[in-house]
Structure 1
């Protein structure tokens, strides 16, 4: 009995597949027309999509291990002078996983907007901000995209109105602020600049995209320089502060040593032939005072040189594995890929329309019968 059921089910399955194939064959014109329409749309998108060039670099951040530590023979003398240098040492490393946070920070991006770019048709270099505010034209597809996909954003922006004044902060508050124009430029910059950190292999890849090849290389180079500068400043900040501290104490002790030396010299000149106990005691006191001050001063001079070396040791080194070069070929658009995607998408939509019509007709007939 079970075998009969299986035999009956099998022909039903074959009938269903044949019916599906028959339905698809009968609606082949719809599929072909839909695919052709989408093919022309894809061709339009591929032809009028804006060109983009990508420039990138790969670097490995490194820093010197160890380094000189202050202290040593200065301990007792520095303690007498009220100076505590025992905790001085190198700065802390910033993990590469935080590099994207630096790149996406407002100060970094505002500084990057000032990058001078060589733009075709311009006699002089212009900044990134000036290029996108005054020169840049998105092209035909860009305008179509702006007023179709981007239309809701334009409508919301018009409803909300100009928020420039709301985004401005008083300079007296010392709070970082941006204008509406800067916000739009930051959005553009964020979409064009990317940073990838490979924790496993320990390298960082930085890339920039621009409508022109040389401008892309210039943006990538500027971003690389700013990133290295930011990381270096973070790394040596503590060592530089300690250097400034030692320099300040060194200048103070230098003045005190000069004053003590001057007093001792005056006393000796004024008491050459005097051999009283009081004069001898005063001479010993001035000599001891001078020796103490001069001892601290000489040790601070040594530590000043050590701290200068510490700053250099803490300065990270960036090994450039792949330097930035002006791209020869555009990275976008990939016209063949775009066209293929639209053709496949059109075929899927066409098949969906064919089976959708059949489904609607079936539902309509069932509704009528009921």
Structure 2
């Protein structure tokens, strides 16, 4: 005879079905744990290499050379007007051209062979079972949609091939760049199946990002410097021509007797002085601009250099076991308690 069901649930009412259904709970936990172990071995294992640095610019603050030290100490240093916000740093290496260049940089595999990221992903790397399943829709799509070959449309545009898109997608999945707005610190994290490859790719990304920051910070003043240098060359040539013209005139007129010759000599001499002043002024401006250019070049304070990771970064097997075992316990509890809750709900409706 069934035990009467009370209007209110007590602790014993909940525990009793769980105790009676312990075999179901044990089976659910076992199935969940086994599923976790299987999924763990089917999933990809990756090594994580990181780098952390702070870009500092001498001219970016009234603190001068102490700006970088102040940032490291946690003090907020005002950004130079027109400067590049740290939030935009990742965008400097996220464009297609940079990604394609990054894919062609050399890598030394654990076997000692030399390769590139593109060659490694296309010809060497073997994804995990779950990785293959995740990429199955893309492969099915490639069978339906004709493949695209890389071809030049005109002098300004390039049509990317399916392989290019695949390589760029792999780079986006494996490279992560984080920045802190307050101190401008940049953290680069790269995941790769091999530890040595993770470290090399992190170093490549670090170098490309730092060069991109330097180029951005110095573009305007570099253009100004190049213009001054080209102008200086022209003025130097004009100054030397004025010197030569005055010398030739003086050699032809060792004794100046006529007023015409005297006036011509004074004119050439005056023209030489003007050319000399202009040349000296531009030369001085070149030296000042060169100094400003050197000041504007960011210096990078490396907080954490790239090192070859020792341990795998992907979740451990124990975490998979605990998670899926707990999930199995939850599913088993629902199965065991379902009849009781159904009976309780039915009794409550009958007493209304």
**Range into which the TM-score falls when normalised by the shorter chain:** 0.7 to 0.9
* Other-structure match for 1:132: 121
1:140-155 to 2 correspondences below 5 Å: 142-147=128-133, 149-155=134-140
Q: Rate the CA distance shift 1:211–1:134 in 2: closer, same or farther, 3 A.
A: same
Pairing partner for 2:20 from 26, 39, 44? 26
Cα distance in 2 between the residues matched to 1:136 and 1:330: 17
* Other-structure match for 1:109: 99
Cα distance in 2 between the residues matched to 1:191 and 1:197: 18
Task: Give the TM-score taking structure 2 as reference length.
Answer: 0.84
- Residue pair 2:42, 2:129 contacting (<8 A) in 1 also: no
Check if 1:164 corresponds to 2:148: yes
Check if 1:55 corresponds to 2:49: yes
Q: CA deviation at 1:158?
A: 3.4
* Other-structure match for 1:279: 261
Q: What's the C-alpha RMSD, in Å, of the aligned pairs?
A: 2.7
* Other-structure match for 1:181: 163
Counterpart secondary structure, 1:50: coil
Cα distance in 2 between the residues matched to 1:364 and 1:13: 13
Pairing partner for 2:86 from 96, 99, 104? 96
Counterpart secondary structure, 1:257: helix
Unpaired stretches in structure 2, ≥5 consecutive residues: 1-5, 62-79, 348-352
Cα distance in 2 between the residues matched to 1:171 and 1:339: 55
* Alignment deviations for residues 112-170 of structure 1 (CA, whole Å, 9 cap, x no partner): 1122222123x4210011001001112xxx224523x54444434433x13414x7551
Task: Give the TM-score taking structure 1 as reference length.
Answer: 0.80
* Alignment deviations for residues 43-86 of structure 1 (CA, whole Å, 9 cap, x no partner): 1222343321111111011001279xxxxxxxxxxxxxxxxxxx
Cα distance in 2 between the residues matched to 1:294 and 1:18: 104
Q: CA deviation at 1:218?
A: 0.5
Counterpart secondary structure, 1:94: coil
User: Number of residues paired by the alignment?
Assistant: 325
Pairing partner for 1:245 from 221, 227, 244? 227
Q: CA deviation at 1:201?
A: 4.1
Unpaired stretches in structure 1, ≥5 consecutive residues: 1-10, 68-89, 366-370
- Residue pair 2:57, 2:296 contacting (<8 A) in 1 also: yes
Counterpart secondary structure, 1:104: coil
